Amino acid sequence: MERCDWCKDNDLNQQYHDEEWGNPLHDDQKHFEYISLEVMQCGLSWSLMLKKREIFRECFANFDYKKIAQYTEEDVERIMNVEGMIKSRRKIEAIISNAKAFLKIIEEFTSFDQYIWAFTDYQTYIYPKHHNGQWEASNALSDKISKDLKKRGFKYLGSITVFSHLQACGIINDHAPKCFRYKELVQLGNIKYIESFY
């Protein structure tokens, strides 16, 4: 069975790739979990995030953004003292701040899912140039969403981090064409091939 090259470790990366990465996501709590993992990842490896995922779930109430939005300095200290937790006060505070901004988006758009999928008119984008080796870590779509999220008070969500989220939640299908998941996701339909976002 062919897979994307980055996930062939017969471990957490492969499991994440096979079961989650690129699936069209429409669950707000899962969106918040992915975004929070991506915040924690800044400067670190995704493998480490997957290894520490249960610790993050323990620290952040299984990514219940309504509960996290109520966290206080006491909670920051509690999280900082959890064994195995990444000891970054700024990242922990960013996740709490993001939970508050997340709730404001839900208030305005009914759900975060409605908000973020509207940027592609609820379609999954495929960039053929990626298949030709012209990979990118961000693009005009992620630039636009990142700028809007920052305006709404989100932290640690630059264009590269947002691009990672778009890949993870299926707004961008960036599985390699040889990968069995690419074919499965294309068969779901609602695909738009994009030569350029501009």
The tokens for 97 are 């701040």
For the CA atoms of 175, 171, 39, 114, the dihedral, rounded to the nearest 10 degrees, stands at -160
Q: Has 117 been annotated as catalytic?
A: no
Instruction: Note if 46 is an active site residue.
Output: yes
E-assigned strand segments in the chain: 124-126, 191-193
Helix orientation angle between 73-80 and 89-109, rounded to the nearest 10 degrees: 130
Q: From CA 62, how far away is CA 53, in angstroms rounded?
A: 10
Of the candidates 16, 20, 58, 93, the residue annotated as catalytic is 16
Residue 16 annotated among the catalytic residues of the structure: yes
Among candidate residues 46, 71, 156, 182, the one labeled active-site is 46
CB atoms inside a 10 Å sphere around CB 167: 17
The span from the CA of 57 to the CA of 139, in Å, is 30
Residues 6+ positions from 22 with CB-CB distance below 8 Å? 167, 168, 170, 173, 174, 175, 181, 185
d(CA 107, CA 69): 14
Q: Which residues are catalytic?
A: 16, 38, 46
